[in-house]
């Protein structure tokens, strides 16, 4: 009987150095348990993330060269900890999965070259993973799966990926067949959150700070909802960010205080979430979707999570979102994507065939 497959996954696309070890069951799935559930066929054995927030905080954003230097320093101990926690030494690993793009090219190179060195030293093949594919599959990491296949009655599924670099709406016909319906034409939603935070003088990272202050306001400020009524599924957040700038400039110095910042954060967040939810729900109705999935760093935003959850319930469709700690960049989602790629027939590569590519698209 074939042994289970062990995957070591690496993620260094931006400012998180991450490694994870996942196990794919190679044996037929066990029958449903007494609770009525099916044993998951993809299991996370360890997941380690080393943040760089303290490094980039003084700059108010990620500095690519500084991020790369930190990855060089952190990647070996992070990988060692992931292997030790999983109780699988490096020689017992079957595959090495690594994010090859999109992302910051100096950061990507560190992870890719480290994976290639491991592959050369051990002879283990590499699974190059698109970072966005990792986000796309991240909501399914805790779901029961039968033979690595998600239940057919979950599809079609509308998947919203919202992060600092991307805002993408995708139609998934099944767990391996998907197409992009629309994406941002300028700033990503997460980027807009961060820029508004910087404009208001809020600490880095700005997105979570905007959300925190928004919870403490009942503002009546109204900002525009760019492209909310457009007939396509594209997004635009640059104009919304500019509207916030003009509003701040219109305030008198005596009225620009902490409460004013809270009100601005609330109004901005409401506008951004309204656009994201409206377009997602429109796609659900147009394509007769049976499920909605939400992923990416902005998926940790409580307002967005709750509104999509409520609207999904109204439409009587399933709603999937990762745990908050799995919304931001991590290697578990990279390993999960690699698992689905293997199951769907992907042929792993040798180290000579792998390179970092910052321009990869979903």
What are the pLDDT digits (tens) for 149-163? 678 889 999 999 999
- pLDDT tops 80 at residue 36: no
* Strand locations in 173-209 (E): 178-183
Pick from 217-221, 291-295, 346-350: least confident: 217-221
Tell me whether the CATH fold assigned to 5-140+329-353 matches the one assigned to 154-322: yes
At residue 59, the pLDDT reads: 85
- Average pLDDT of 174-202? 95
Whether this model's pTM surpasses 0.95: no
At residue 151, the pLDDT reads: 80
The mean predicted confidence, pLDDT, of the chain is 92
Task: Evaluate whether the domain defined by 154-322 bears CATH number 4.10.640.10.
Answer: no
Res. 31 pLDDT band, cuts 50 70 90:
very low
- Average pLDDT of 5-11? 97
Percentage above 70 pLDDT, the chain: 93
* Other residues' Cβ atoms within 10 Å of the Cβ of residue 50: 18
Return the CATH fold of 5-140+329-353: Nucleotidyltransferase; domain 5 (3.30.420)
Question: Which two structure tokens, joined as six digits, stand for 345?
Answer: 């027939």
At residue 175, the pLDDT reads: 86
Q: Residue 100 contacts by C-beta under 8 Å, 6 or more apart in sequence? A: 108, 112, 128, 129, 130, 354, 355, 356, 357, 360
- pLDDT tops 70 at residue 186: yes
- Residue ranges of domains in the chain: 5-140+329-353, 154-322
Q: Are strands 178-183 and 167-172 parallel, antiparallel or unpaired?
A: antiparallel
What are the pLDDT digits (tens) for 266-314? 999 999 999 999 999 999 999 999 999 999 999 999 999 999 999 999 9
- pLDDT tops 70 at residue 148: no
- pLDDT tops 60 at residue 206: yes
Residue of 58, 55, 43 lying closest to 17 (CA atoms): 55
At residue 61, the pLDDT reads: 86
Residue labelled with tokens 């930190």 = 70
- Average pLDDT of 91-111? 97
- pLDDT tops 90 at residue 110: yes
């Amino acid at each position: 009987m074939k042994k289970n497959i062990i995957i070591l996954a690496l993620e260094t696309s931006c400012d998180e150095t991450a490694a994870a070890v996942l196990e794919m069951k190679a044996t037929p799935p066990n029958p449903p348990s007494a609770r009525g559930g099916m044993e998951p066929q993809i299991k996370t054995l360890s997941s380690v993330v080393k943040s760089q927030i303290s490094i980039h905080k003084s700059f108010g954003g990620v500095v690519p060269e500084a991020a790369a230097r930190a990855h060089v320093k952190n990647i070996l101990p992070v990988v060692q900890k992931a292997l030790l926690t999983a109780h699988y030494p490096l020689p017992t690993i079957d595959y090495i999965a690594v994010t090859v793009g999109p992302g910051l090219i100096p950061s990507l190179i560190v992870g890719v070259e480290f994976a290639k060195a491991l592959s050369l030293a051990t002879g283990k093949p590499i699974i190059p993973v698109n970072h966005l594919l990792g986000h796309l599959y991240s909501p399914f990491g805790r779901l029961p799966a039968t033979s690595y296949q998600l239940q057919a009655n979950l599809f079609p599924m509308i998947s919203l990926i919202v992060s600092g670099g991307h805002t993408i709406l995708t139609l998934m016909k099944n767990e391996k067949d998907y197409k992009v319906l629309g994406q941002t034409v300028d700033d990503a939603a997460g980027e807009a959150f961060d820029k508004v935070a910087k404009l208001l003088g809020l600490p880095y990272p700005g997105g979570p700070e905007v959300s925190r202050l928004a919870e403490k306001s009942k503002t009546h400020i109204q900002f525009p909802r760019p492209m909310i009524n457009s007939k396509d599924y594209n997004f635009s957040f640059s104009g919304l960010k500019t509207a916030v700038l003009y509003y701040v400039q219109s305030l008198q110095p005596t009225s620009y205080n902490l409460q004013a910042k809270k009100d601005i954060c609330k109004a901005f967040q409401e506008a951004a979430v309204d656009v994201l939810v409206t377009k997602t729900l429109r796609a659900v109705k147009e394509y007769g979707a049976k499920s909605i999935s939400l992923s990416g760093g902005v998926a940790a935003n409580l307002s967005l999570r709750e509104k999509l959850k409520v609207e999904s319930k109204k439409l009587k469709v399933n709603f999937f979102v990762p745990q908050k700690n799995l919304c931001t960049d991590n290697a578990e989602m990279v390993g999960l994507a690699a698992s689905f790629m293997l199951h769907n027939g992907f042929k792993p590569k040798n180290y000579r065939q792998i390179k970092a590519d910052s321009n990869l698209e979903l």
